[in-house]
């Protein structure tokens, strides 16, 4: 007699950027194995494929993973990981008052929210005539920052994230990243800095903890921001 199939539980979450509800499931042992192998091999392309496939497979609602904002991917991955392994995160944090004492902390995944900084926008006005519409970094950027420890070169990142340029009543969509980079090269430093502000204020996973240093007895505030802070 064949072994019985095991029913996989399903859950619902709200995608931070779109506010749409999607259904998802935990990742399976075979998917976790691929993730672990990819991380152990330290192969960026393999890690990217494993994470993309895991998120895509676990989403029951049809979603184009490539179109998701960076903070959507972080939030989704955190939620899927929580339902797959544990809804409680245990980790060590370093006390800021002496920068060496570590403290064990626990908190629930549901307490971790996406922080939307006040005033953040993806529409950047460069002057009276030119406005740039930006897109958020994609899953490739997510993988580089969180799992490969890389920080993409700012010029390259800006080029990849320009969605549309408005000049007066006309709008232009770049045909390639190279075209965007060439266009960015013609900006003034002040205009480039204005675009950089978009990345500096991007929404991100954020959770604030208060921990007491057992040695100094001082209470420290620890800010966890971005997926890599939750899974060091």
What's the total number of domains in the chain? 3
Q: Indicate whether 155 and 180 sit together in one domain.
A: yes
Q: Indicate whether 172 and 61 sit together in one domain.
A: no
Beta bridge partners of 212: 219
Could you tell me which of 228, 224, 206, 214 has the C-alpha nearest to residue 97? 214
6 lies in some domain = no
Q: Indicate whether 77 and 98 sit together in one domain.
A: no
Beta bridge partners of 103: 93
**Mean pLDDT value of segment 57-83:** 89
Q: Indicate whether 58 and 77 sit together in one domain.
A: yes
Confidence grade of residue 220 (pLDDT, cut at 50, 70, 90): very high
Confidence grade of residue 147 (pLDDT, cut at 50, 70, 90): low
156 lies in some domain = yes
CB distance 15 to 22 below 8 Å: yes
Q: Indicate whether 15 and 76 sit together in one domain.
A: yes
Q: Indicate whether 33 and 138 sit together in one domain.
A: no
How many Å apart are CA 113 and CA 82, to the nearest integer?
A: 14
Q: Indicate whether 163 and 219 sit together in one domain.
A: no
Q: Indicate whether 105 and 143 sit together in one domain.
A: no
Q: Which of 50-54, 191-195, 204-208 has the highest mean pLDDT?
A: 191-195
121 lies in some domain = no
Residue range 161-175, pLDDT digits in tens = 999 999 998 999 999
176 lies in some domain = yes
Could you tell me which of 221, 227, 232, 229 has the C-alpha nearest to residue 95? 221
Residue range 108-129, pLDDT digits in tens = 988 888 999 998 999 999 999 9
Q: Which residue has the tokens 């969605």?
A: 163
123 lies in some domain = no
125 lies in some domain = no
Determine the pLDDT at residue 73: 86
59 lies in some domain = yes
62 lies in some domain = yes
SS3 content of the chain, % helix, strand, coil (to 5): 40, 25, 35
Whether residue 74 is predicted with pLDDT greater than 90 in this model: the reply is no
Confidence grade of residue 77 (pLDDT, cut at 50, 70, 90): confident
Q: What is the mean pLDDT of the chain?
A: 88
Residue range 3-48, pLDDT digits in tens = 887 878 999 999 998 889 999 999 888 888 888 887 787 776 777 7
Determine the pLDDT at residue 229: 76
Q: Indicate whether 17 and 61 sit together in one domain.
A: yes
How many Å apart are CA 142 and CA 73, to the nearest integer?
A: 8
Determine the pLDDT at residue 154: 83
Q: 9-33: b or e for each residue (b if 16 or more CB lie within 10 Å)?
A: eeeebebbbeeeebebbbbeeebbe
Domain residues for 102?
A: 90-115+204-230
Determine the pLDDT at residue 186: 93
More confident residue, 105 or 3: 105
Contacts of 154 (CB under 8 A, 6+ apart): 196, 199
Q: By mean pLDDT, which of 145-159, 192-206, 213-227 is the weakest?
A: 145-159
């Amino acid at each position: 007699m064949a072994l019985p199939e095991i029913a996989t539980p399903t859950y619902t979450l709200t995608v931070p950027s779109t506010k749409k509800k999607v259904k998802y499931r935990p990742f399976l042992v075979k998917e976790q194995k691929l993730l672990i192998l990819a991380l152990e091999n330290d192969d960026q392309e393999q890690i990217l494929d494993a994470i993309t496939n895991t998120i895509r497979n676990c989403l029951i609602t049809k979603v184009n993973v490539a179109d998701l904002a960076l903070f959507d991917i972080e939030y989704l991955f955190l939620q899927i990981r929580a339902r797959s392994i544990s809804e409680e995160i245990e980790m060590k944090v370093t006390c800021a008052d002496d920068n060496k004492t570590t403290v064990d902390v626990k908190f629930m995944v549901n307490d971790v929210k996406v922080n939307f900084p006040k005033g953040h926008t993806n529409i950047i006005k460069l002057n009276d005539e030119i406005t740039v519409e930006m897109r958020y970094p994609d899953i490739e950027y997510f993988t580089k920052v969180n799992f490969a420890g890389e920080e993409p070169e700012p010029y390259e990142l800006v080029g990849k994230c320009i969605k549309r340029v408005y000049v007066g009543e006309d709008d232009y969509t770049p045909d390639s990243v190279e075209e965007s980079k060439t266009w960015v090269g013609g900006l003034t430093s002040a205009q480039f800095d204005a675009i950089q502000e978009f990345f500096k204020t991007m929404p991100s996973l954020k959770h604030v903890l208060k921990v007491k240093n057992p040695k100094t007895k001082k209470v420290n505030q620890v800010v966890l921001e971005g997926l890599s802070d939750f899974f060091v």
